[in-house]
Amino acid sequence: GEDVEQSLFLSVREGDSSVINCTYTDSSSTYLYWYKQEPGAGLQLLTYIFSNMDMKQDQRLTVLLNKKDKHLSLRIADTQTGDSAIYFCAASGGSYIPTFGRGTSLIVHP
- The span from the CA of 38 to the CA of 24, in Å, is 24
Which candidate, 18, 2, 31, 30, places its Cα nearest to that of 104? 18
- The span from the CA of 99 to the CA of 33, in Å, is 10
70-99 residues in contact with another protein (CB under 8 A) are 88, 96-98
Size of residue set near another protein by CB under 8 A: 20
Query: Binding of another protein at residue 44 (CB under 8 A)?
Result: yes
- Rounded to a whole number of angstroms, the minimum distance from the CB of residue 22 to another protein is 11
How many other CB atoms sit within 10 Å of the CB of residue 101?
A: 24
Q: Which is nearer to another protein, 14 or 26 (CB)?
A: 26
How many distinct helices (H) and strands (E) make up the chain? 0, 11
14-43 residues in contact with another protein (CB under 8 A) are 31, 33, 35, 40-43
Q: Which residues bind another protein (CB under 8 A)?
A: 8, 31, 33, 35, 40-45, 48, 50, 88, 96-98, 100-103
